[in-house]
Structure formats: structure tokens, C-alpha cells
Chain A
């Protein structure tokens, strides 16, 4: 049987063995050397990257006081595999959740993964967590994770600061920085300065086992997170707090600017809300109630509220007329009430008196002179050309512009030009008599409280303004470039002085409309305004700056549906000026009257 023929069969067998060995080696070569698919897959299975959250930059006030910082909050997570024999009813009691709600969350977690922890309760604050943390130890598979959330220490300026909350799909798609579950500034300054505030996350790399439990840490690859930059605001937190206190229970706004620098000292829109209420477990319900409230607390009146400027606008008309040379400070104009109605006992005023008395016929005539300068023999064409010039002059005051747009969601309002009336009446179908209501601040004019505060700053500065802005410093590097650009109106200071005289009289003259803004020891210059609402109480408006020379504060105050400007907005302005300049409030009776007032 052991013949040569059969002996050769050893070669067949040996050959098969060698072929199989070569096939195996080729396969190994492919898996281990040529293709990287399998080693990449192994990396995905065994390595886990844990992002280390950087500390978000803080918001400080102009004097370094803390406005927004970070505090710890606690998410509760469940690992379904470890949570065997979980007493769901008892857990529901501890967490204060209804059984069905909790059951749904637990089922969802179990469906997602048995091994990976899923969040069942989000953002408990320290007090809530402390109350239940001990009881939670009785429940297997439940653990907590700390995350830092925003805390508005001062509890003010919710509108300005905006919201910091979880990213959505669009955010993740738009910026590789964000991952599911991350937070970002979604509105206000939190959003504008997101890039500076957010910092750079670090990372820790782990080796995990098949159940996704961390087993090792790969120290050599780790990077530490870099904290975000602190943002110092121009806001004076005491003034801001006091302004919010005075506006509580009212609809309206306060904008205070430092005239010399354009820095916003306070900006309030009322009703306002505490930024802290929009973090944590109750965000959803709080947001809903804010969103459906008839007073629209989420609406930022200071930036987006557009009102007809009323009498206050007469100062702008006067300054433009002086600069155009159509009147002088001594020019008197008869109070011809057949053209347009007026109030008070005067008969013929110069500019100062006309502002003090808020004389309507005076400004009818003043604007007529500015517009109809004989640029064209056809009076209709003349009006059109004149209005174009007038529009440019008014826009130089910042009206109809976004004033640099240094606060998000700012609105421009509108100052009509020829095109606006061409559209309404048809080209060359309107004259000055058609549009005269804008001469006294009515008609198609729309301005915002920020623009009105800026007007006070322009007059206080006698002819220039710097773009109003809320930020003084980012990360110790100073003001962002271009944020306080200067706009010079190229109007002689003496023209402003005439108006300033009038504004002082508004406050100090026994018959002035702004008497209630008066403060002992400080010369305030102001002007009342009244925005008429058909069938409802008027909006009370007041703008002011103080002191008269080298003013430190310029402001606008709006109180909606409250009555005349002198009755409510003026005393609020007075209180704020005194608070800011002297750090005290002497007229407690006035303060009491404001605090208890509910329009």
C-alpha cells in the first residue's frame, strides 16, 4: 500500500496545508496592514472622548461687580442595566414626578441603550439636589452629573443678557464646536459674545470596556479646557437694579447712556424677567407663561419699541432750523392756532420759549422754513427736495438708523423721506401742508427709546454722539474695535445751547412741564413728551441729561398708558439721575409715589 503513487499524495495534502496558510496570511495582511477599516472600528469601540467643559466667561458690571457667573447644576442619569428591581413608584415620589412621566423616561432610556446612561431629570439646582441626593443612593443605577449653568447673580438685565441654553440641530450643523447636549448663548449678549465667552473645551480620552464602562485614562492625549473670557459691561448694576425697581408693574423702558462715551449705563424693558427663571427644570413652563402674557415680557421695548416721538422731536426741528439759518435764537413766531392747535396762554415765542411751552404753530412754521427753501419754483417739487434734505439732517441724529447695532435685535424706527409720501400720495402730489404733522413729532415718525436717550446725549454733548454700546472690555483686552464710533453732527454748539436753556426751563420754570424731575443741587435738562393713543391713556415720555455742563448721564424714560410725560416719566428720570450721580435718593415721597403707581 505504501507505493510511490500514494506517497505522492503527501504532496497534495502538504500543498493544501500551504495554500490555506497562505490564504490566512493574505487575509491577515489585508485586515491588519492594508485596510484601516477594522482598526478604525476598534478605535471607535474602545476609545471614548470625554469633552471637558470650559468655564464660561462671566459678565461684570462697569465697576467690576458680578452680574452673571456659573453655578453647578445636577442632571440625574439612569443606566438601565444597573437599575434592576428599581422601585419606580418610590423614585417618582423622591423626584416629584408622576409615575407615567417617569415611566416614559425610563422606557425611553432603556430603549436607547441598556449600558449608556441617559438623562432622566435635567438641571436640578444645588438646593433641589441636596434635598434628594441622600435618598437617591437607595436606587441602583441612578447617578448624577454636574454641569455648570448660568446664574444671574444680580437678577437683572434679563433682556440685555439673553438666554443660554441647549443647542439645536441647526447650531450643531452650523458650527463644529457644538455637540448634542451642549449649551450656547441663544439671544442677547450671551449670543453676541458667544465666541469670547465660550472658551475652548478640553478633552480626556478613555479606554472603555465592552459595556462602555471607563477602564483607563490615556493621560498623554488629554488637553485641559481653557476658560472663556470675562465680559465687562458698561451697565451700572445699581442703576440697572434701581431702574427695574421703579418700572416694576408698569409697561415701559429706561435707557441711560454716558454721553461722553456712548456707554449704556442701564437698559430696562418692563415687564422684565429674571434670567435665572429661564434655566433649570422649569424653563419650559416659565417661557410659555412669558410668551403668552398679554404685556409681552419677552419683547424688548427699549430696543424694539417704536413710538412717535411727540413734542421731544421739536428740539430736533429747532436745532436743524438754527443750523439751516432759517431762524435765529431770537426769532419769534406767532402762535397762530388757526393752522394747528396749541395749549397754554402764550401768543408769540422765541425758540427757547417755544420748546418750554411746546408750541405747535411755532414748529409748523420752523419746519416749513427748513423744507421750503425755494430749491424749485414748483412748491410741490420744492417740498420734495426740502424733505430729502431734512431727512438727512434728522438721520444724522441717529433716528432711522440702528446706531451701530451693538445690541442684538435693535430696531431702526423710521424717518419718512420723499419716497414714502410719493408712495402714499403719488409723485408731486403732496406739499408741506400734506405732511406738516411730522413737524411736531407726529405722523409717520417712529423712534425707539434708545434713539431718544441718544438724542439726550447729543444735546448734552452739544453736537456729537458715540454709538451706544453695552460692553467695556472683553478678557482684559479693552473695548472691541469700532464699538464706540463717534458721529459728529457738524452743528455749532451755540445752537444746542439755545435748546439746553429751554430744557433747563422745562425742569426749573414754575410752569415747566418737567418740574417733577427736579433734584436739589443738580441742574437737570429735560423735555417731556406725550405719545397719544386713541381711546387709551397716553404714553408718558421724558428725556433728560445731567448735569447741564459735561453731563454724566443722558436718558429716556417711557411709561406706557400712564398719562402725560411730566407726570410719570419725568419723576422716574429725576430719581434715576439722583441715584446715579449721588448714590442716594433724597425725595422718598416721590419714590414712594412711583413704586406704588400701577397704570
Chain B
């Protein structure tokens, strides 16, 4: 065991620090470009968004430095407190929060805004790690599973009330943490299966078929009938082809899957038809390549793709993208910042960013697996899951592969709250990892 007084800097994972540094710097360049009209000097204006982002980066650097010098024990012991504090903030924001873009997600102080959900992500990861790493905790008990679920679900539920669907999706990413800690792999398979059924429902639901007696209606009815017919056929066939002792189990699971699948499909279809407003339904249809009559429905995505597509291999160069400069893409400096990368840095720059994130996430997984401390491992998985979900949803959205759900790209998107949240997230991990030789928890 390393002596306590030896410097933390000898053991910290510099690769993470460097990746984060590169992402922040590259992000800053893109924020500057996205918020100025091709006038390079404008970002020296500290009142501009480029200047503010620079200020936040300096603050975050200081914050990171501070965290690296705090004993990790502090974060472990205060995890419950931090979590509760975040819950208070999440409740408070629902009451006194400022409504921006239809969601009550922000506290406003003068010219500044604070988004508490950005802090809920690291504190939830901390509490989950704390809870699951206690000596007495055994994953197999129902109580543990339920409480783990609750730890994630409470902040997620509060955030859904804002409503901020993007961040809720990020919380769904904690399923990877639970999976690593023993949650059945079937959960992932079932989730994937449900996703396939949902996609089929949306695609088929938008078609029309002429039914006898009912007239022209959505083709989904045919899908449901075929689903039941094929399902029953497959179950009977499988029953006859397998050994007798497994028959009962297969029949039970088979029927359960058919019913569950049918419920998902019916529920989703009715939900789309009745709960969603037509413009929301259009957005989903656009995502799946279904023609909609409303030209505005895919406006954001069309412009986002045009912006990225116009970058070609090497891009138009920093501060030289007209779509970036002249506000063709909405929220260019926050949720759609990847469009600037695509337009100005081209395929080369975009792939670099994706590879940097991929490397960051894989590196965090590697770090997780080298821990003797369960707390650090679980927390690291939380970190990896959060980054992964942000990458998945944000880049998926601008590339037209995922629905338009506002969510920042870590270290890239303009905004103090998300920058502080992500810095906190990664800095605590680096500190925890730096102590891996010291402690055995």
C-alpha cells in the first residue's frame, strides 16, 4: 500500500485527463464558431457565449483540481447527503424553476441558469455505488433490486415531471450498471425485443389497409393478427420439437412473450394515436422515414444532416461553415453542436470525436474492471453508462438515427451546468481510481 502522504498525481489516470482536456478544448472551438458570425475576434468578448464557455472551462479545471485533492472517503460518506440534496433541488425546480423551451428544468439567478438534473446524474451514480457496495448487500435479494431501482427511478421520475425526456433516457442507462452487478441479461434481450416490436408498430401503424366491413384503417390490425397467428404456431412447433421436460417452460414463456409483445404494440399504437399531438407523431414518423405532410416536422433534422453532409471529408474549416454561422441549425451551440463538428471539421473531425468518446467510455470500463473497490467499480460503470447514453442519444439524434430529444454532448455543448456535472462525474472517478492501491473496500 502506498504511503498516505504520497502524491495522488502519481496514480491518477492521465489518459482520462487528456481526453477530457481535448474534448473541452475542441468543444470550445466549436461553441465559438457556432455562436459567432464568422468574425474570429468575437470570442474574446467574455460576454459572448464563447467567452462564457471559456470561463466555465476555467472554473471546471479548478473544480477538477479541487476534487482530485479531496479524499475519496468524502464522496463515499456524503453520497446519501448529496443524493438527498439533489432530490430537494429537483423538487424545488419543479416549483420555482424557470420554464425554458417548455420544460421547467432551470433555476435562474440573474443572468445565470442552473440545471439541477445535470447534478442528479453523478449523485445518483454515487448513491447507487454506495448502496450496492455495502458489505451486506446481496443482489439476489428482491429488496436490493427494488431499492436499486428506486434510487434511479426517483430522480428520473422527478426529471420526467419537468419534463426532460433526454435526461430520463440517460437514467435508463443505469441498466448497464445493474447488468454488470448481476441483473439478468434477459432484461437487455427483452428490452431489445421490445424495441424491435416498437419500431415495427410505428412503421406498420403508419400504413393503411382496406378492411372488409371496417373501411380503410391503419395496417397495424393485420400486424396484430399475424403476430398472434405466427406466435401460436411457433410455440406449438417449439413444444413438439423439444424434450418433454422443457415443454412446459417453453409454452409458458412463449405465450408470455406473445402477450407482452402484443401489449407493447397495442399500447404504443394507441398511445401514439391518442396521447401524442400530431406534430409529435410527425417527428417520430419522420425519424422512421415515413412521409408526413408537415414540412416543418423534420426541419431540424434536415438542416442538421445538411450541415453535417456539407462537411465532406475534411470539412469547411473552423469558422467557415455557413450553416453553422447563419443559424440554419437550431440550438447549434448546445444540443446540435455535433453539426458544427460535421460541417467545419468534416468526416475526419467527426470520426475523431466519436473515437474520443468511444475511447473515453472503454477506458472507464477498463478502469472499472481493475478496481479492488466495489464502490469505485460500480461508480465507474455509472460514469461509463452516462457518457454512453449521452453519446447515443445526442449523436444519434443529429445523425437522424434517434428521435429529436434535447440532450447535451458531454464537454462539447455550451452550458455551465452540464460542464460542471460532467467534470464532477469524471474527476471523482479519477480521484477514486487514483486511490486504487490504497484502499480495499
Interface residues of A (CB under 8 A from B): 1-2, 6-7, 9-10, 12-14, 16-18, 20-21, 23-25, 27-29, 31-33, 35, 37-39, 41-43, 45-47, 207-210, 215-216
| CB contact under 8 A between A42 and B306, given known A14-B365, A32-B342 | yes
Does B401 lie at the interface of the complex (its beta carbon under 8 Å from any beta carbon of A)?
yes
Interface contacts beyond A12-B188, A45-B323: sample of 14 additional A-B pairs, CB < 8 Å, sorted by A: A1-B182, A6-B180, A12-B185, A13-B176, A23-B401, A28-B308, A41-B305, A42-B307, A43-B310, A46-B322, A209-B326, A209-B327, A210-B326, A210-B327
| Min CB gap A201→B, angstroms | 24
Shortest Cβ distance from A19 into chain B, in angstroms?
A: 10
From B328, B355, B399, contact of A46 by CB (8 A): B328
Decide yes or no whether B145 CB sits under 8 A from chain A.
Answer: no
B51 at the interface (CB under 8 A from A): no
With known contacts A1-B182, A10-B369, A31-B399, A39–B306 Cβ distance under 8 A: yes
Query: Which listed residue (A2, A32, A215) contacts B350, Cβ 8 A?
Result: A32
Q: Which residues 337-370 of B sit at the A interface, judged by CB distance below 8 A?
A: 342-343, 346-347, 350-351, 354-355, 357-358, 361-362, 365, 368-369
A-B contact pairs, 9 of them (CB 8 A): A6-B181, A10-B365, A10-B368, A12-B179, A13-B365, A31-B305, A32-B309, A33-B347, A45-B306
A285 to chain B, nearest CB (A): 40
Cβ contacts B51-70/A at 8 Å (1 or 0 each): 00000000000000000000
Taking a contact as CB atoms under 8 Å apart, the answer to whether A38 and B326 are in contact is no
Smallest beta-carbon distance A112→chain B, Å: 15
Q: Which of A10, A13, A33 has the most CB of B within 10 A?
A: A13
Q: Which of B82-90, B155-163, B230-238, B388-396 lines the interface with chain A?
A: B388-396
Are B325 and A17 within 8 A (Cβ)? no
Name the CB-closest residue of B to A9.
Answer: B180
Distance of A24 Cα from B347 Cα, bound (Å): 11
CB of B130 to closest CB in A, whole Å:
15
- Chain A residues whose C-beta falls within 8 Å of the C-beta of B351 in the assembled complex: 25, 28
User: Size of chain B's interface in residues, with CB distance under 8 A?
Assistant: 54
Q: A29 vs B348: C-alpha distance in the bound complex, in angstroms?
A: 10
Task: Fill in one digit per residue for B153-186: 1 if any A CB lies within 8 Å of its CB, else 0.
Answer: 0000000000000000000000010011110010
Knowing A1-B181, A27-B399, A33-B313 touch, does A21 contact B355 (C-beta < 8 A)?
A: yes
Nearest Cβ in chain B — how far from A185, in angstroms? 38
The answer to whether A20 and B306 have CB atoms under 8 Å apart is no
* In the complex, B420 has a CB within 8 A of chain A: no
Asked if residues A7 and B326 are in contact (CB atoms below 8 Å), the reply is no
Bound-state Cα–Cα, A38 to B38, Å:
22
In the bound assembly, the distance between CA atoms of A16 and B326 in angstroms comes to: 37
Q: Is the CB of A6 within 8 A of B182?
A: yes
A-contacting residues, B91-146, CB 8 Å? 139
Chain B residue with Cβ nearest A27: B399
Point out the residues of chain A lying under 8 angstroms from B354, CB to CB: 21, 24-25, 28
Across the interface, do B309 and A31 meet the contact criterion of CB distance under 8 Å? yes
Complex Cα gap A2–B355 (Å)? 29
Q: Which of A17, A33, A38, A47 contacts B305 (CB 8 A)?
A: A38
Q: B303 an interface residue at 8 Å Cβ cutoff?
A: yes
Inter-subunit contact A14/B326 (CB<8 Å)? no
A35 (CB) vs chain B CBs: closest residue: B309
Contacting residue for B323 out of A10, A25, A46, CB 8 A:
A46
Contact A207 B395 (CB under 8 A): no
Residues of B within 8 A of A (CB): 37-38, 139, 176, 179-182, 185, 188, 302-303, 305-313, 322-323, 325-328, 342-343, 346-347, 350-351, 354-355, 357-358, 361-362, 365, 368-369, 374, 377, 381, 384, 388, 391-392, 395-396, 399-401
A187–B354 Cα distance when bound, in Å, is: 64
Within the complex, what minimum Cβ distance (angstroms) separates A273 from chain B? 48
Per DSSP, chain A at the interface is helix
Of the listed residues A10, A35, A37, the one surrounded by the most CB atoms of chain B closer than 10 A to its CB is A10
Query: In this complex, what residue of A is CB-closest to B133?
Result: A1
Contacts of B368 in A (CB 8 A): 10
Bound-complex Cα distance A458 to B358 (A)? 95
Q: Given the complex, which residues of B lie within 8 Å of A215, measured CB to CB? A: 37, 322, 325-326
Are A7 and B342 touching (Cβ within 8 A)?
Answer: no
Closest chain B residue to A43, Cβ basis: B310
* Contact A2 B374, beta carbon cutoff 8 Å: yes
Asked whether A32 and B391 contact (CB < 8 A) given A9-B179, A41-B306, A215-B325, the answer is no
Complex Cα gap A183–B93 (Å): 63
CB distance from B120 to the nearest CB of A (A): 22
Asked if A24 and B309 sit within 8 Å, CB to CB, the answer is no
* Chain B: minimal CB distance from A181 (Å): 25
CB contact under 8 A between A20 and B391, given known A6-B180, A28-B350, A45-B306? yes
Find chain A residues with CB under 8 A from B312 CB.
32-33, 39
Contacts of B361 in A (CB 8 A): 17
Q: A residues within 8 A CB of B303?
A: 45
Are B342 and A28 in contact, CB atoms less than 8 angstroms apart?
Answer: yes
List of B residues within 8 angstroms of A32 by Cβ: 308-309, 311-313, 342, 346-347, 350
Min C-beta distance of B168 to chain A, whole Å: 19
Taken together as a complex, chains A and B put the C-alpha atoms of A21 and B401 apart, in Å, by: 12
A43 to chain B, nearest CB (A): 7
* 6 cross-chain pairs, A with B, having the tightest CB-CB distances, nearest first: A38-B309, A209-B326, A42-B310, A42-B306, A21-B358, A39-B310
- Docked pose: A133 CA to B95 CA in angstroms: 55
**Best-buried of A6, A18, A45, A216 by chain B (most CB within 10 Å):** A45
Specify the chain A residue showing the minimal Cβ separation from B378.
A1
Q: Report the separation of the CA atoms of residues A210 and B322 in the bound assembly, to the nearest whole angstrom.
A: 10
Cα distance, A12 to B311, chains bound together (Å): 33
Cross-chain contact B347 with A207 (CB below 8 angstroms): no
Q: Which residue of B lies closest to A38 (CB)?
A: B309
| B401 to chain A: closest residue by CB | A27
Taken together as a complex, chains A and B put the C-alpha atoms of A20 and B312 apart, in Å, by 21
B408 to chain A, nearest CB (A): 17
Q: A6 — which chain B residues lie within 8 A by C-beta?
A: 180-182
Q: How many Å from the CB of A228 to the closest CB on chain B?
A: 34
Could you tell me the distance in whole angstroms from the C-beta of B270 to the nearest C-beta in chain A? 31
Contact present for B347 and A29 (CB under 8 Å): yes
Q: How far apart sit A389 and B223, CA to CA, in the bound complex (Å)? A: 89
Contacts of A210 in B (CB 8 A): 326-328
Q: Are B309 and A46 closer than 8 Å at their CB atoms?
A: no
- Alpha-carbon gap, A47 to B322, bound state (A): 9
Q: Smallest CB-CB separation from B387: which chain A residue?
A: A17
* Assembly CA distance A38 to B309 (angstroms): 5
A208 & B326 in contact (Cβ 8 Å cutoff):
yes
What residue of chain A has the Cβ atom nearest to residue B360's Cβ? Answer: A17
* B310 contact from A7, A23, A28, A38, Cβ within 8 A: A38
Q: How far is the CB of B153 from chain A (nearest CB, A)?
A: 21
Q: How far is the CA of A210 from the CA of B381 in the complex (A)?
A: 42
* Residue ID in chain A nearest B330 by CB atoms: A210
B residues in contact with A46, CB < 8 Å: 310, 322-323, 326, 328
Instruction: Give the residue name and chain of the A residue nearest to B326 (CB).
Output: A209
